[in-house]
Amino acid sequence: MLLIAGLGNPDPAFAKNRHNIGFMAVDEIARRWGFSAPRRRFQGQVQEGAIETPEGPVKALILKPQTFYNESGRAVGEALNFFKIEPENLVVFYDEIDLAPGRFRMKAGGGAAGNNGVRSITAQVGPYFRRARLGTGHPGHKDLVHGHVLSDFHKAELKWVEPLLQALADAAPLLALGEDEKYQAEVMRLAPAEKADPRAQARKAD
């Protein structure tokens, strides 16, 4: 089984924040592949289903921790332990300020790079899980980061947010098969984004 977790904050007031693009991504995957209705479990909201691939369906559990972003590891750790899922079968979707808006990168293992949600998961399950990093841009100065990630996407940004979310869902069979490099390439083919300085792009958007 594959565990697909999205990071975000559960309060409806945060629903359209840049920090919640991980929630948005897994919601779109659940919708595209007909997952079950959400229910509360593992200190989170879960949906069960399968992603169809050329090699047959891959069972998956989608998890949106309801512990708030910085404590995401509590929910992820519970689900991983219950199903005895190895960390290499955990994929975490989250916002990445050090990637330009609309860019997407897959990564396995590594540090938290200042992301407290990733740090929380690492503390629970170790660093060897798969990271689906969604570029939201940097505001240009570290003092502006908190306000930047907790602000809503601007209307102009939706022209790349919506195609990116759709691409993440449409290309999910590659993710389900563990083909992370091919998944990244296919997402960027379906929803191309400009290669740019993440700080310059964010300043332009704000």
pLDDT of residue 151: 86
Q: Confirm if 103 and 197 have CB atoms less than 8 A apart.
A: no
* Both structure tokens of 174: 């590659």
- Give the model confidence (pLDDT) of 4-56 as tens digits: 999 999 999 999 999 999 999 999 999 999 999 999 999 999 999 999 999 99
Q: Where are the domains of the chain?
A: 2-205
**C-alpha–C-alpha distance, residues 58 and 179, integer Å:** 13
* Both structure tokens of 10: 């559960």
**C-alpha–C-alpha distance, residues 68 and 185, integer Å:** 31
pLDDT of residue 134: 96
**C-alpha–C-alpha distance, residues 198 and 135, integer Å:** 8
Side by side, the strands of the sheet bearing 90-96 are: 39-41, 44-51, 58-65, 2-6, 90-96, 130-135, 104-108
Q: Is 19 a catalytic residue?
A: yes
Q: Coil, strand, or helix at residue 82?
A: helix
pLDDT of residue 106: 97
Q: Where are the beta strands (DSSP E) in the chain?
A: 2-6, 39-41, 44-51, 58-65, 90-96, 104-108, 130-135
pLDDT of residue 203: 52
Distance between start and end Cα atoms, the chain: 40
**C-alpha–C-alpha distance, residues 100 and 186, integer Å:** 18
pLDDT of residue 15: 94
Which ranges of 56-144 does DSSP label H, i.e. alpha helix?
Answer: 72-83, 116-125
- Report, as ranges of residue numbers, the positions in the chain whose pLDDT lies below 70: 195-206
The kind and range of the H/E element at 75 are helix 72-83
* Both structure tokens of 154: 């601007």
Amino acid at 55: E
pLDDT of residue 139: 80
pLDDT of residue 143: 81
| pTM, 2 dp | 0.92
For 2-205, CATH gives 3.40.50.1470
Q: Which of 19, 138, 141, 154 is catalytic?
A: 19
